[in-house]
């Protein structure tokens, strides 16, 4: 049972990572766009205010941010496509259609029940429990909705794509049957989301009152929950009430009342008579870990990656940590380890919360919102007395070290499957087209030895009828079989390999860098018999 669960988690992690790999490139473009359009930077460098530069920067930022803002769509397509045993493109298309049906179901039911929320002039639908996705207003399940529905689509597809009917029912055979099932699954999922998710949202919102009256512990809880709830899309229910309502504080300026941490911070920063920022500033400190902590996380991932994967992990993660520091977007990194190593993510949330509490304990009232450059320039302009900003950077260095040391220790101690420590990373690199070529690896000389015994390999796997699917990562041929007892190691070993790993009905044959060629040869052979 344990092996099956671990195998399922490994496959799920691989499926989660594939859509995110593109953001290692996109994130760098987004970060450049954020820099070009940053008002603090353009104030210091007036030539950046030139209209063509501003337009270019805005295009670079917005065209990538729309992808980040629609991660649910990427997951609902990418997860089924990655987890499907065959016809992966059909699985991805069905995933997208299912998502559209789920959104529409949620919208129709909200409309029918008279429950569609009215957008706020300032915040839109933020804080209402609803959102607009692809132009459809629905209950806000954010990324979590795409992940759940993507998994449901993959599950249904793998069990129905090969279903065949005769006679008049023939048109419902194969992938069309999978789609038929998902029509009803999507409608049920949409209906349940309208019933269940608002209850979950209400529970999270109720914690706000506990947080506001609990001092440093409340700030810890605030930061902890904000990070912990990232994969559910409910994190905005934690910070929004504090940043944009009187829960985050009230500032009286004559006849004018300023409410919410964000408004108070912006006001106090521009008030020369304010000698020190009020405690409301701490509710803006969720940006602290985004600017600094992820540097330690990424450093730990790179440090603990297997030697053969370090270069590729660096190429993937460094642009993403730059995106985190400059644009405050952390989801691409978060989803790289949240399911593969959940214990690290819980620890991550705890560290994030701890350092918001430490900011208060050490009386650091520096501005931690926006990005690392905006934060620095804003605090520099406000002055040391008002913000105690030098101490912020002391805590920043400490946080980076804490993340690096703890993550490195736990990854090595428990052999956690973080980026670079399992074949999935190499597989993704191969999918991206950056895997070593035949000339680089010298695989051509071994190709004939590998492919010459494909028939023996198939027979050793129990024959064509015993093989459910074939996949490969960077070094391993992965085969899912119906009956593991039919395996014959002596026949499998006629193909040069470095070992056979058996995990229930999932068989991994360690081939090396020539594995893609062997997989193609196996699939071609299966088509001929």
Residues 6+ apart with CB under 8 A from 384: 390
Torsion on CA atoms 189, 193, 195, 199, rounded to nearest 10: 150
Which residue(s) pair with 471 in the sheet?
478
* Residue 114 token pair: 């008279």
Angle between helices 2-20 and 142-160 in degrees, nearest 10:
120
Question: In the 3-class helix/strand/coil scheme, how is 354-369 assigned residue by residue?
Answer: HHHHHHHHCCCCCCCC
Distance, CA of 435 to CA of 312 (rounded, Å): 9
| Residue written as token pair 């300023």 | 258
- Using left for φ > 0, alpha for ψ between -120 and 50, and beta otherwise, residue 56 falls in alpha
Segment (H or E) for 500? strand 500-503
Burial degree of 126 (CB within 10 A; 0-12, 13-18, 19+): middle
Q: What is the side-by-side strand order in the sheet with 476-481?
A: 467-472, 476-481, 506-510, 500-503
The full length of the chain comes to 529
Nearest residue to 19 via CA among 64, 66, 61, 81 = 81
Question: What secondary structure does DSSP assign to 123-142, as a single string?
Answer: TBTTTTTEEEETTEEEE--H
Residues 6+ apart with CB under 8 A from 148: 141, 189
- Using left for φ > 0, alpha for ψ between -120 and 50, and beta otherwise, residue 291 falls in alpha
Neighbours of 391 (CB within 10 A): 17
Catalytic residue (choose from 138, 325, 368, 473): 473
For residue 340, the number of C-alpha atoms closer than 13 Å in the C-beta half-sphere is: 25
Beta-strand pair 256-259/467-472: unpaired
Distance, CA of 171 to CA of 302 (rounded, Å): 51
**Residue 473 is among the residues annotated as catalytic for this protein:** yes
Neighbours of 195 (CB within 10 A): 10
Q: Report the SS3 class of residue 103.
A: helix
Is residue 110 within 8 A of residue 35, CB to CB? The reply is no
Catalytic residues: 473
């Amino acid at each position: 049972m344990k092996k099956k669960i671990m195998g399922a988690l490994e496959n799920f992690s691989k499926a989660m990572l594939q859509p995110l790999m593109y953001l290692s490139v996109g994130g760098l473009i987004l970060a450049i766009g954020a820099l070009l359009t940053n008002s603090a930077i353009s104030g210091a460098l007036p030539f950046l205010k030139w209209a063509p530069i501003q337009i270019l920067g805005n295009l670079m930022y917005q065209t990538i941010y729309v992808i980040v803002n629609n991660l649910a769509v990427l997951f609902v397509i990418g997860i089924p496509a990655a987890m499907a045993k065959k016809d992966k493109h059909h699985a991805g298309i069905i995933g997208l259609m299912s998502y559209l049906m789920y959104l529409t179901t949620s919208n129709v039911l909200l409309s029918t029940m008279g429950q569609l929320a009215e957008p706020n002039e300032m915040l839109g639908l933020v804080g209402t429990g609803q959102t607009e996705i692809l132009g459809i207003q629905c209950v806000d399940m954010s990324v979590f909705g795409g992940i759940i529905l993507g998994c449901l689509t993959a599950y249904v597809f793998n069990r129905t794509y090969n279903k065949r009917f005769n006679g008049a029912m023939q048109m419902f055979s194969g992938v069309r049957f999978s789609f038929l099932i998902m029509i009803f699954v999507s409608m049920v999922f949409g209906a349940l989301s309208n019933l269940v998710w608002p209850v979950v949202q209400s529970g999270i919102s109720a914690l706000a009152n506990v947080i506001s009256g609990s001092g440093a512990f409340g700030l810890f809880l605030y930061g902890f929950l904000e990070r912990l709830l990232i994969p559910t899309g409910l994190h905005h229910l934690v910070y929004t009430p504090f940043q944009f309502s009187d829960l985050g504080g009230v500032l009286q300026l004559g006849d004018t009342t300023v409410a919410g941490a964000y408004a108070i911070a912006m006001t106090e920063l521009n008030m020369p008579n304010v000698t020190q920022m009020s405690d409301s500033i701490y509710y803006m400190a969720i940006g602290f870990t985004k600017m600094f902590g992820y540097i330690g996380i990424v450093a730990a991932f790179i440090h603990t990656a297997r030697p053969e994967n370090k270069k590729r992990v660096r190429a993937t993660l460094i642009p993403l940590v730059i995106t985190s520091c400059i644009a405050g977007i952390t989801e691409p990194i978060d989803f790289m380890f949240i399911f593969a190593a959940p214990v690290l993510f819980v620890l991550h949330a705890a560290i994030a919360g701890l350092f918001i509490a430490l900011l208060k304990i050490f009386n650091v009232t520096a501005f931690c919102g926006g990005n690392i450059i905006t934060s620095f320039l804003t605090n520099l302009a406000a002055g040391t007395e008002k913000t105690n900003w030098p101490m912020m950077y002391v805590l920043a260095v400490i946080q980076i070290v804490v993340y690096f040391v703890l993550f490195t220790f736990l990854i090595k101690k428990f052999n956690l499957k973080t980026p670079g420590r399992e074949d999935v990373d190499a597989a993704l690199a191969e999918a991206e087209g950056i895997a070593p070529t035949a000339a680089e690896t010298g695989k051509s000389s071994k190709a004939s030895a590998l492919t010459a015994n494909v028939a023996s390999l198939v027979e050793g796997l129990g024959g064509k009828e015993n093989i459910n699917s074939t996949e490969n990562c960077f070094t391993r041929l992965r085969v899912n079989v119906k009956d593991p007892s039919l395996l014959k190691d002596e026949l499998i070993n006629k193909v040069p390999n470095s070992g056979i790993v058996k995990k229930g009905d999932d068989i991994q044959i360690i081939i090396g860098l020539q594995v893609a060629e062997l997989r193609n040869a196996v699939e071609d052979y299966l088509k001929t018999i």
